[in-house]
Structure 1
Amino acid sequence: MTAIAEAPNPAIDPDWWRGGVIYQIYPRSFQDSTQDGIGDLNGITERLPYIASLGVDAIWISPFFTSPMKDFGYDVSDYCDVDPMFGTLADFDRLTEAAHRLGLRVMIDLVLSHSSDKHPWFEESRSSRTNDRADWYVWADPKPDGTAPNNWLSIFGGPAWHWDARRQQYYLHNFLVSQPDLNFHNPEVQQALLDVTRFWLDRGVDGFRLDTINFYFADALLRDNPALPPERRNAKVAPMVNPYNHQEHLHSKNQPENLDFLKRFRDLLDEYPGAAAVGEIGDAQLGMELLGQYTREGQGVQMCYAFEFLAPDRLTAARVVEVFEHLDDVAPDGWACWAFSNHDVTRHITRWHLDERGARTYATLLACVRGSICLYQGEELGLTEAAVAYEDLQDPYGIEFWPEFKGRDGCRTPMVWEASNTNGGFSEVKPWLPVATEHLGRSVAMQDDLDGSLLNHYRRIIALRNGSEALQKGTQDGLYADGNLLTFRRTVPGETLFCAFNLGDDAVGMALPDGNWRMVEGIGGTAPGQGGLTLGAWSYCVMRAV
C-alpha cells in the first residue's frame, strides 16, 4: 500500500468542508479486529493509513453508539457511549487521535430525529402521562373510533403510529416501530440533543453527518398528509413498492420550526473552530429547496445532500444540467454535498449498469462538479451490489419488502482488503454479511500497486481536486448538455478549468471555448487540435486555461 507519512493535526480552517472529500465508513463492514465477524473501531484505526492514502479530507463513521441494533445503530439507546460490539470510548479516542495525526478529520453520524425504544428517555416517557419526560416523544390520543391520530406512514412500511398500552396512546415512528420520534417542540429535548452534540465535540470530533435532518419536527396539529398523484411519485427516498410514496409529506416532516433548531445547532458548532456538519435531506419533492434553507450562511449546517445523484436512473448529461439549474434557482447560496453511493442505496456501479470506463468517468465527474463530495467505502474499488440470499438478510427493510425490494444489505457487505480467503481480509471468521465472491478480485491488495486500477484512478482525481482551488471552491458556469456530452467551467481568480464528459457509447466531437487550453486530466481518446476535441465513448477531459 502507498506509504503515508504522519501529518500534524488538521489546520483549523473553518472552510475546509467547502469542496472537501469525505469518506464514509460503515463500521460493521470495514474491518474486524476482534474476530467476531463484525467490524469495529479498532479495525477502522488499523485501516486509517489506507484512507489517508486516498487523499480525502475527512471520514464519516456511521453510528457506533449503544443500540439494540434493530436498525443497525440508527436506533440509539445511549448517545454518549460506544456499543460494546464496536469497542469503547477509549477506542474511539485512539481512533480520533490517529486520524488527526494522518491529517484526517473525523465526522460521526448523529441520529437526532428518533431514538431506540430501549433508550431510558423513552422508557420513562412511556411509563405514564405525568412523568418528567412524558412529552419528550410524539404522543397522541386515538381518534374516537380507536384508530391512529392521522394518516401518516412509516418509511419502513405501514402506519407511522404504534399503540402503547401503558399510556393508552399512540406514539409516532417515521421508521421502525422500535424507533420512536423525539418531540422537538419540547425545548428540553432540543437541549438534551445539543448536550449530546457538545459531548462529542469536546471529545475531539470535527463534525457530524445528521441523519434525516428534515424529520426533526412534525406538525404540532398532526394534520393528515394529502395524497400524492401517481405521476408525481418516485423512488428517490423509498422504493416504489412502499406506500410511503403515495403521500405528499406536508405535515410529517419539513416543518418551518426546524430552521430555529438548526440555528441553535450551528451556534454550538461555531464554538468549535473548524467544526462542520452535513445534513441528509430525505424528501423527493423539496430536497433542493430545503438544502437552500438549511445551509443558509451561519443559520444552519454548512452543507446538505439530497437524493438527486442517488436516484435509480443513470445520471445523464441533461439530468446533471437540470439538477444544477434547479439548485441555482431555489438555493443559489446553498452548498450541496454530492454522493453516488452510500449505505442506503444500491451501489451505483450496479444501479447505473456501469463498466470500468463508466466508473472512471463518473468518478471524475463527481470530483469536478461544484460542491463537497462523499465517497462510500468500496466505491473506489468499483464494488458492485452484492447478491444476498434471503436467508442471509439482516436488513428489516429488505425482509419487509422482499423480493420486490431486497433492502440495503447488498451495499453493506464487508470491505475486501485481500483475495487470500473467502472473507476478503475483513475477518478470520464468518462475517455478519457474506463477502461477495466477485468482490475478491477487486480487493485493495489486488489494485493498490496497479497503476491503471480504479483505486489509483480515485487517488489521482482526488489529488487533482486537492490541487485545484477552482475545483474545490470555484464557481461553476457554462453548464451545457448536448446528447451525452456534458461541459462546464470551474473558475476562481487566476484559474479556469474547462471540463468535458462523454457519458455515452459513441465518440463525440466538440469545439473548445475561445482561448488557449492545456490538458491536465483526460482519458479515452481525447485528441485536441485546431480548436476542437474528440471524446471517445465514456471519456472525459479537464483543461486549464493558459
Structure 2
Amino acid sequence: MTIVSASPAVPDKDWWRGAVIYQIYPRSFQDSNGDGIGDLKGITARLPHISALGADAVWISPFFPSPMKDFGYDVSNYTEVDPMFGTLSDFDALIHEAHRLGLKVMIDLVMSHSSDQHAWFIESRSSRVNPKADWYVWSDAKPDGTPPNNWLSIFGGSAWHWDPTRMQYYMHNFLTSQPDLNLHNAEVQDALLEMTRFWLKRGVDGFRLDTINFYFHDRDLRDNPALDPSRRNASTAPAVNPYNFQEHVYDKNRPENIDFLKRFRAVLDEFPSIAAVGEVGDSQRGLEIVGEYTSGGDKMHMCYAFEFLAPDALTPSRVAEVQDGFSGAAPEGWACWAFSNHDVVRHASRWGSEVLDREAYVKMLSAVLMTQRGSVCIYQGEELGLTEADIAYADLQDPYGIQFWPEFKGRDGCRTPMVWDAQALQAGFSTSEKTWLPIPVEHQLRAVSAQYGDPESVLEQYRRFLAFRKQHPALVKGEVRFLESEGPLLQYERIFGDEAVLCAFNMSAEPLSVEPPPGDWEMLDGHGFESTVEGNQINLPVWGAYFARRA
C-alpha cells in the first residue's frame, strides 16, 4: 500500500533553501529487531529526536536490496527495500511519521552504477547481443589483453574488470562489484527516471544524488592525463591511492551530464515542492562543477561539495576562500555544506584531535556551519560531539579500509552505531550481544541520555543554536559578506531583506578582543555563547562566538 501524506494547500517550493538536513546511515541509527543492524522501523522510532533537534529534513542513505559489498551503495533493486532494513510498508510508515512531525524525507539515489547482482547487469553480461547488452560500459581489450585505457578506480587499481562470458572489460569507478551504468544509452536514462518517479509517488520530498559527476564517461575512452604532483589532493581519495595521480578529464565530469540533469529536474518538477542535492566528488574541479550543475534553475537545486569534508584545517581564511570560491563559480547556485558524513573522518577528530577543550571547539564549529550561506547537513552523532572511532582490523567491514590498511583505515570509524542510552546494552542502539560495528566506550558516555537536558552539553547547544537560527531569516536564506578572515578571527554578515546579522568567531585557543564593524549593532542572545562587549570591544573567549543585529 502506498501512503502519501497530505501536503499543505500551498506547498513551499523553496523549503530546501537554507534547510538543515539530518543524515541517517540506516545500518547504524536504530535496530528494532535485535539483529545488531539498524533498520527502517528503528529510524521511525527515533524521528522525534531529529524533530526535537530542530532539523527540517532527513536524508536516509541507501536501504535498497544490495549484496552489501559497499553497504548499500551497490544496489541490486532500485524499487524495493532490503529485508535487512524492512519492507516498503515500513518505509511508507516512516514517511507518514516524518511528515506528521514536520520533517521532509530525502533518500539517496545511486545512479552512476549498480551492483553486479542487479538483474540489469546479469542480463547485460550474459552476451554481447541481449536487450541490455549496452546498459553498462563495456569495451574490448587492447591487442595485448590489457584494459582499454588508464582509468583508475576510487577503491584502488584499474577501473576495468575482465568478464570471461563476454570476453570484454566492464568499467567500475568503485568496487569491481559496482559496474558503471551507461547513461549514454537513452533506455538507461529512462529506466532511472522511472525509478525516480516510483519514489516520488511514494511520498519522498527529495533526493541526495550519489557521485553525481560520475554519470557519464568519454565515449572514445581516451586516457586521463597525469596530474602535476603539486596539484594532488587527497580529498577525493586517500593519499595512498594512485587515483590522485590523474587529472580526471575523461572518466567523469563529462558535459553530457548537463542534459541528463535537466531531464531529471523535469521529473522532479512533475511533483510539488521536491528538491535534490547532488554530491560532487571531485577535488580538482569541485566548485566549478557545482556552478555548472546548479545554474539556470533547471538542474540541481543545490550541490554537496567536498571542500569542508577535506582534511585541510578549518581556519577563517579557509572558510572565506571556500565561500568566495563558490560565489565566483556558482553565482546563481546554492550550496549544501557539511563538516562530516559517512565517508570521512568525523570533524571532531579530523580537525580537533589536538584541541584541549574539544567540547567548546565543536560547539563553535557547529555555529560556523549553521551560519554559512547555503543549506546544512548534520551527520548522525555530530550533535553529540562524537569523535572518530578506532576500529581494530579484525572488526573492519569497509572494503576501502581493508584495501589500504593501515595507512588508511577506511570509513568504519565514522559509521559506528548511534548512541542513545548511556546505561543500556549497546547504548540503546540494539538488544543484540554484537552489533555490526562495535560501539566505543567513549561514545556510549556521550549518549543522548547523558546530554539531554544538560545546558552545557553539545546536544543542547545544537538544539539551542538551531532554534536561534530559525528566528533569524538572514541566517537561513541570506547573502554573506565577509569582513575579516585573517588570523584567528572569522567575521561576516548575513543579510536578508531588512535584517543583517553579524557573526564573529574566535577560531583559536586564546581569548580575543576585536572591534565590531562600523554601525549600530544590537547584541543577540539565545545562541548559547557568552561573549561580552566592553565599550567598543567584543571579548571573544576561547573558541567563542558573538552575534549581533544591525539596529
By the TM > 0.5 criterion, same fold?
yes
Return the letter of the residue paired with 1:527. Answer: T
Q: Which residue of structure 1 lines up, in the alignment, with residue 548 of structure 2?
A: 543
Structure 2 SS opposite 1:272: coil
Q: 1-side partners of 2:131 and 2:22: how far apart?
A: 40
For residues 168-201 of structure 1, the C-alpha deviation after alignment (integer angstroms, 9 at most, x for no partner) is: 1000000000000000000000000000000000
Distance apart, 1:525 and its partner CA: 5.2
Return the letter of the residue paired with 1:458. Answer: Y
Q: Which residue of structure 2 lines up, in the alignment, with residue 441 of structure 1?
A: 445
Q: Which residue of structure 2 lines up, in the alignment, with residue 498 of structure 1?
A: 502
Return the letter of the residue paired with 2:236. Answer: V
**In the alignment, is residue 178 of structure 1 matched against residue 177 of structure 2?**
yes
Instruction: Tell me if structure 1 keeps the 8 A contact 2:461–2:528.
Output: no
Q: 2-side partners of 1:350 and 1:478: how far apart?
A: 27
Unaligned runs of 5+ in 2: none
- Worse overlay, 227-236 or 169-178: 227-236
Q: 2-side partners of 1:527 and 1:80: how far apart?
A: 55
Instruction: Tell me if structure 2 keeps the 8 A contact 1:14–1:274.
Output: yes
Q: Which residue of structure 2 lines up, in the alignment, with residue 88 of structure 1?
A: 87
**In the alignment, is residue 389 of structure 1 matched against residue 392 of structure 2?**
yes
TM-score, with structure 2 as normaliser: 0.96
**In the alignment, is residue 327 of structure 1 matched against residue 330 of structure 2?**
no
Q: 1:514 aligns with which of 518, 530, 535?
A: 518
- Worse overlay, 267-276 or 22-31: 267-276
Instruction: Tell me if structure 1 keeps the 8 A contact 2:53–2:466.
Output: yes
**In the alignment, is residue 210 of structure 1 matched against residue 214 of structure 2?**
no
Q: Which residue of structure 1 lines up, in the alignment, with residue 100 of structure 2?
A: 101
Distance apart, 1:523 and its partner CA: 5.7
Q: 2-side partners of 1:53 and 1:525: how far apart?
A: 24
Return the letter of the residue paired with 2:192. Answer: L
Q: 1-side partners of 2:296 and 2:268: how far apart?
A: 13
Instruction: Tell me if structure 1 keeps the 8 A contact 2:316–2:486.
Output: yes
Distance apart, 1:531 and its partner CA: 2.6
Q: Which residue of structure 2 lines up, in the alignment, with residue 194 of structure 1?
A: 193
Return the letter of the residue paired with 1:186. Answer: N
**In the alignment, is residue 478 of structure 1 matched against residue 477 of structure 2?**
no
Q: Percent identity?
A: 62
Return the letter of the residue paired with 1:446. Answer: A
> RMSD over aligned Cα, in angstroms?
1.3
Instruction: Tell me if structure 1 keeps the 8 A contact 2:320–2:482.
Output: no
**In the alignment, is residue 418 of structure 1 matched against residue 421 of structure 2?**
yes
Return the letter of the residue paired with 2:532. Answer: A
Distance apart, 1:326 and its partner CA: 1.2
Q: Which residue of structure 1 lines up, in the alignment, with residue 454 of structure 2?
A: 450
Return the letter of the residue paired with 1:530. Answer: G
Distance apart, 1:480 and its partner CA: 2.2
Distance apart, 1:421 and its partner CA: 3.4
Q: Which residue of structure 2 lines up, in the alignment, with residue 4 of structure 1?
A: none
For residues 185-225 of structure 1, the C-alpha deviation after alignment (integer angstroms, 9 at most, x for no partner) is: 00000000000000000000000000000000001110000
Return the letter of the residue paired with 1:205. Answer: V
Structure 2 SS opposite 1:544: strand
Return the letter of the residue paired with 1:49. Answer: P
Q: Which residue of structure 2 lines up, in the alignment, with residue 488 of structure 1?
A: 492
Q: Which residue of structure 2 lines up, in the alignment, with residue 275 of structure 1?
A: 274
Structure 2 SS opposite 1:528: strand
Distance apart, 1:416 and its partner CA: 0.3
Q: 2-side partners of 1:525 and 1:79: how far apart?
A: 49
Count of matched residue pairs: 540
Q: 2-side partners of 1:241 and 1:420: how far apart?
A: 40
Q: 2-side partners of 1:138 and 1:482: how far apart?
A: 48
Distance apart, 1:235 and its partner CA: 1.1
Distance apart, 1:484 and its partner CA: 0.7
Distance apart, 1:422 and its partner CA: 4.6
Distance apart, 1:517 and its partner CA: 1.5
Return the letter of the residue paired with 1:431. Answer: T
Instruction: Tell me if structure 2 keeps the 8 A contact 1:523–1:541.
Output: no
Q: Which residue of structure 2 lines up, in the alignment, with residue 27 of structure 1?
A: 26
For residues 28-52 of structure 1, the C-alpha deviation after alignment (integer angstroms, 9 at most, x for no partner) is: 0000001000000000000011110
Q: 2-side partners of 1:529 and 1:494: how far apart?
A: 27
Structure 2 SS opposite 1:205: coil
Q: 2-side partners of 1:524 and 1:181: how far apart?
A: 48
Q: 1-side partners of 2:144 and 2:197: how far apart?
A: 44
Q: Which residue of structure 1 lines up, in the alignment, with residue 532 of structure 2?
A: 527
**In the alignment, is residue 363 of structure 1 matched against residue 366 of structure 2?**
yes
For residues 497-540 of structure 1, the C-alpha deviation after alignment (integer angstroms, 9 at most, x for no partner) is: 00000101112221112222222246665221323212122101
Structure 2 SS opposite 1:79: coil
Q: Which residue of structure 2 lines up, in the alignment, with residue 3 of structure 1?
A: none
Distance apart, 1:130 and its partner CA: 0.5
Q: Which residue of structure 2 lines up, in the alignment, with residue 239 of structure 1?
A: 238
Q: 1-side partners of 2:544 and 2:332: how far apart?
A: 31
Instruction: Tell me if structure 1 keeps the 8 A contact 2:465–2:528.
Output: no
For residues 419-469 of structure 1, the C-alpha deviation after alignment (integer angstroms, 9 at most, x for no partner) is: 123511000111100001100111001111212211010011111221211
